[in-house]
Amino acid sequence: MAIVLALCAAYVAFCIGTHPTGPLTTPDSINYLQASPIYPIGYPLFLKVFSADAAIIVQPIVFGAALALLGTQIVRHTRSTWLAVVTLGAIVALPDRKSTRLNSSHI
């Protein structure tokens, strides 16, 4: 289980170490930043609490914690560290995560 937690921590450190200089945006980002009523309240509330700049740091930490929880539960229920590592690796390697993170324009 320690390897699963270490890999999650390494991923968080990588994300924070390579984070962009400013928030990444998409065409509807301004609506989220202004907490438009046409969007669910969850993410706009998150941005209000942490700010768009702090979200660059907080989001990888929250995602890493979710990965760690998933990985520990996989190990707990299957007793397979290998399965947990492969599952978490597949999640981290999803192409949409990389393209969203790397190809968006800055504010």
- DSSP states along 22-83: S-EE-TTHHHHHTT-TTS-SHHHHHHHHHHHHHHHHHHHHHHHHHHHHHHHHHHHHH--HHH
More confident residue, 82 or 25: 82
pLDDT at 23: 67
pLDDT at 24: 65
Share of the chain above pLDDT 70, in %: 82
Give the tens place of pLDDT for each residue, 35-62: 777 778 887 888 888 887 888 889 899 9
Give, as one character, the DSSP assignment of residue 97. H
More confident residue, 82 or 18: 82
